[in-house]
Amino acid sequence: MAVDRLYALLERLGNLLRTEERAAGLRHGLQPVHLQALRYLQSCNRYSNTPAALTEYLGLTKGTVSQTLLLLEEKGLLRKQPDTEDRRVVHLLVTEDGRAVLKEALPPALFKRALTGLPGEGEALEAALTGLLRSLQAANAQRSFGACGTCKHFQREGPGRFRCGLTKEPLSREDSQLLCREHEAVPQGP
Amino acid sequence: MAVDRLYALLERLGNLLRTEERAAGLRHGLQPVHLQALRYLQSCNRYSNTPAALTEYLGLTKGTVSQTLLLLEEKGLLRKQPDTEDRRVVHLLVTEDGRAVLKEALPPALFKRALTGLPGEGEALEAALTGLLRSLQAANAQRSFGACGTCKHFQREGPGRFRCGLTKEPLSREDSQLLCREHEAVPQGP
DNA sequence: CCAATTGGTATCGACTCGATACCAAATGCG
DNA sequence: CGCATTTGGTATCGAGTCGATACCAATTGG
């Protein structure tokens, strides 16, 4: 049965990845989930670097994530900054130390080697995985956390000048490449 | 950078899978690792249903796996059977209850839907994942746990009659489809 | 025959994770 | 406005994973 075989493959790869991440984090006294949190926070935009967004991304409960963040803050890999508009919200900023740890640890050496050696820059793999992820998210009513520039709210106003149709804020070229919790894929025309 | 994007995709899918597995196991008081152990034991051959093999498959330490097995045995999902040849070894047999739990829980509904809906039965995905896994295992000097019939020790002796070149034992058609810890891919000729 | 290796278990501590409870700020509605 | 509801976040607790270490029994290899 093809579905079972596919599932077994995914599970197996997921375990390998977790094991490697565990080993990579061990050198810094970090668990897999810590590295994952840092990686997300480093690649998301300013609307999405909050505990709530991270909670959705990781698929855990907010209490659990709150603990994770506490540890990262104690280790000096993370800094909390209160939001200026909404005083309940804090923003999570990866420190220089945090970036250094991430750069050293992710992707784990094993994956870096394997992924780099893939034929055609792994284009086939990326296409297949993207399709699967989209399908999963659609079935799950889950946020996609895609890059800002691929969102249906993304508006081009000129060369290098963009705007988010949701927040109405202007966006830089760098902004457009960051992950956003409000991301919605553009509907595929027939 | 393509490698980082690929890695992010893999990590994200792995987390989703874990979350779903957690939810699926919750109904039976099981953790993700328990379901994974059961699934492996149900699909491996008689050389590979031991704690040591499972330990390698899951990438954990033998102590950890021993605990996992203890719990599964207590719940009646697993039965231990001493090996007749080597009196240190035990074989792990999934009980009827264990099979029932597995059938109900894996793959999680979300994945079953998403995988079933993939174009071309997910052939592209399977090819891409298999390639990646092979590449990872090669780089890691890790066992592949492939199906018996695809192993370099697998010998055809006639219609429906096979033999393992390593253990010299005869193999049935069913045997040939089970996962084996001694599995080695046939070397690709140029 | 005895060391080294292998398969497995037991115990301990660090840590994840969910559940529950809780607080403060924002929002919605009469 | 006023008050219930919702949202963002934290604190605390218990169950359970996981690695490390130690240990035992059986096998293997000189």
Count Cβ atoms below 10 Å from residue A182 Cβ, excluding itself: 18
C-alpha distances (whole Å) from A127 to each of A137, B87, B125, B187 are 15, 49, 9, 28
CA dist B29 and B42 (Å) reads 19
Give the pLDDT score at B187.
67
C-alpha distances (whole Å) from B105 to each of B22, B38, B56, B96, B143 are 10, 11, 23, 14, 27
Class of domain B2-115: mainly alpha
Question: What's chain A's average pLDDT?
Answer: 88
| Residue B1 CB-density burial (10 A; 0-12 exposed, 13-18 middle, 19+ buried) | exposed
Helix A51-58 crosses helix A32-42 at what angle (to 10 degrees)?
Answer: 120
Q: Does B99 touch chain A (CB under 8 A)?
A: no
Walking along chain B (190 residues) 10 residues at a time, the average pLDDT comes out as: 86 90 90 95 92 93 94 93 93 94 89 83 85 80 82 86 85 88 71
Mean per-residue pLDDT for A133-138?
81
First-to-final CA distance of chain B: 31
Q: Residue A185 carries which DSSP code?
A: B
Hey, of B39, B135, B181, which one would you mutate to test binding to chain A, going by the most A CBs within 10 A of its CB? Answer: B135
Give the pLDDT score at A1.
66
Q: Does A187 touch chain B (CB under 8 A)?
A: no
- Chain C: positions less than 7 Å from a protein CB are 6-12, 15-21, 24-27
User: pLDDT at residue A81 above 90?
Assistant: yes
> Binning pLDDT at 50, 70 and 90, where does residue A190 land?
very low
Query: B142-190 has which CATH code?
Result: 2.20.70
CA dist A30 and A83 (Å) reads 27
CA dist B56 and B179 (Å) reads 13
CA dist B60 and B26 (Å) reads 22
Smallest CA–C1' separation from B26, nucleotide? C18
CA dist A34 and A48 (Å) reads 17
CA dist A167 and A169 (Å) reads 5
Q: Does B43 touch chain A (CB under 8 A)?
A: yes
Give the pLDDT score at B190.
38
> Binning pLDDT at 50, 70 and 90, where does residue A82 land?
very high
Give the pLDDT score at A141.
65
- A21-25, A122-126, A135-139: the lowest-pLDDT one: A135-139
User: pLDDT at residue A56 above 70?
Assistant: yes
User: pLDDT at residue A153 above 80?
Assistant: yes
CA dist A177 and A183 (Å) reads 12
Q: Helix, strand, coil: what percent of chain A each, to 5?
A: 55, 15, 30
Hey, are the CB atoms on A106 and B14 less than 8 Å from each other? no
Contact list in B for residue A144 (CB cut-off 8 A) is none
Give the pair of three-digit tokens for residue B49: 């249903």
Query: A141-190 has which CATH code?
Result: 2.20.70
The beta-carbon neighbor of B124 closest among A9, A118, A124 is: A124
Amino acid at A83: D
Give the pLDDT score at A90.
95
Mean per-residue pLDDT for A10-28?
90
Interface of B with A in 117-176 (CB under 8 A): 117-119, 121-122, 124-133, 135-136, 139-140, 145
Listed residue (A179, A146, A184) closest to A165, CA to CA: A184
Q: For chain B, which residues make up each domain, given as ranges?
A: 2-115, 142-190
Contact list in B for residue A145 (CB cut-off 8 A) is 12
